[in-house]
Amino acid sequence: MKKIGVMNSDISRVIADMGHMDWLSIGDAGMPVPKDTEKIDLCVQSELPSFIDVLKNVLIEMKVQKIYLAEEIKEQNPNQLRNIKAVLPDVDIEFVPHKDLKKMLGNTHAFIRTGETTPYSNIILESGVAF
Residue 120 DSSP SS3: coil
- Catalytic member of 20, 74, 99, 103: 20
- 20 a catalytic residue: yes
Give the largest Cα separation in the chain, rounded.
43
Q: How far apart are the first and last CA of the chain?
A: 27
C-beta separation of 127 from 64 below 8 A: yes
Whole-angstrom distance, CA of residue 125 vs CA of residue 25: 6
Amino acid found at 9: S
Report the catalytic residues.
20
